[in-house]
Homo-oligomer: A and B are copies of this chain.
């Protein structure tokens, strides 16, 4: 069989390009060895945010001292239902656009040939949207009890005690979710602080919030060993410290899924970490073959992968290319007290030797913040020296995941802050901070006591 384009992988990096190409009449196939929708839909964003919704409800009701009796099986059924619907949505989209779905592993045989369980197929262009696998601890394989993001949202029983190894985004999100649901969570991070890629002042607020919500955090600690004993996991930490837990989530990193794909048959190179090397058009070292999404590295985020998929499509059909500015990809940690940022961190600006002004704007006076959690919230602004440009913005607040998008136009266009300060933003929302930030930069904030007073 011969196709105009074959895409290996049906996740967020794969299906957008497939849909866009097929819509224009190209003959397109998607090869998927597991579940349509890939990591995000089946094991990542979708199940985690479904469970997060439940965790948020628990968190809300704690404030009014309510008792909740929830059946864990019903909760996971809900998660499965949402995942199932999302997966079927993508299947429908592919089918409706006449994209052929080939259920198989795909292996490159040459620049234009892919071996599948259904025989070898030919493709004018190939897009690799292979994704990543979770990285295991050294010498400890994943199993029913030492799990990754692939299993944690679907476990048969809610663990009474959960060890989370790795305080990155997944580790922090899972710690918060299970802590809210009543599990005793111990979060272990090897580096100086959790979320080590973030500025310390932001990371320690998250540390404080998680601790206040019952998560035990151990930083600068490495798990030495995990053994099974009497249906439990016995975890060995430094200084002979022993923990006994029911489950362990390992979230210490990702491994690009490039093994056994036949990259060598097409002359495709990978970098030192195994990520596929691409140029700014997402072409691999074999210019007939594109690679997008997590497998090319950068921020491992669904929305970044989707834009790369669109970019690959545009380059394949010869439309005007898209150039993504990776430092401007908004990021979010969905953790009750949410953390969202866009632009640069202080660490990044310092390493680039860019001078900046830092403004920390407390926002606990906002009623929306008060209702959902008052004491931790603030906005950190990193402005250019002359205060004309926002270099980075960090929002530490409930619902920050939605609010960060309000700042996107400020980063990609020049927005007149005076106009924003003079525009009513809806009360009672967290988004009121947008106007407040504009007011603050201009110098006339209502809710902030200025220093000279």
Contacts and interface: CB of A to CB of B under 8 A. Distances in A.
Interface of A: 12, 16, 19-20, 23, 40-41, 45-46, 49-50, 53-54, 56-58, 60-61, 63-71, 74-75, 77-78, 82, 85-86, 89, 93, 96-97, 301-304, 306-307, 310, 322, 324, 328-332, 334, 340, 365, 367-368, 370-372, 374, 399, 401-406, 408-410, 412-413, 415-416, 419-420, 422-432, 434, 444, 446-447, 449-450, 453
Given A49-B368, A405-B426, A424-B330, A61 B70 contact: yes
Contacts of A78: 63-64
Contacts of A97: 449, 453
Nearest to A402: B402
24 contacts: A56-B57, A61-B61, A61-B68, A64-B70, A64-B77, A64-B78, A67-B69, A68-B68, A82-B371, A93-B446, A96-B449, A303-B424, A307-B422, A324-B424, A330-B425, A330-B426, A332-B426, A332-B429, A402-B429, A403-B405, A404-B431, A409-B409, A412-B420, A413-B415
B85 A75 contact: no
Contact of A304 (B64, B420, B424): B424
Given A54-B64, A403-B402, A453-B96, A45 B446 contact: no
A56 B446 CA distance: 30
A122 to B, nearest CB: 26
B406 A307 contact: no
A12 B427 contact: yes
- Interface-centre pick from A12, A322, A370, A405 (highest chain B CB count, 10 A): A405
A20 B68 contact: no
B45 A428 contact: yes
Nearest to A330: B426
A347 B307 CA distance: 37
B425 A303 contact: yes
Given A49-B367, A334-B428, A406-B406, 10 more contacts: A20-B446, A50-B371, A64-B71, A66-B70, A324-B422, A324-B424, A401-B431, A403-B405, A406-B431, A409-B415
Nearest to A374: B85
Given A54-B60, A74-B66, A82-B367, A425 B446 contact: no
B371 A446 contact: no
Contacts of A19: 446
A444 to B, nearest CB: 7
A334 B371 CA distance: 14
Nearest to A52: B371
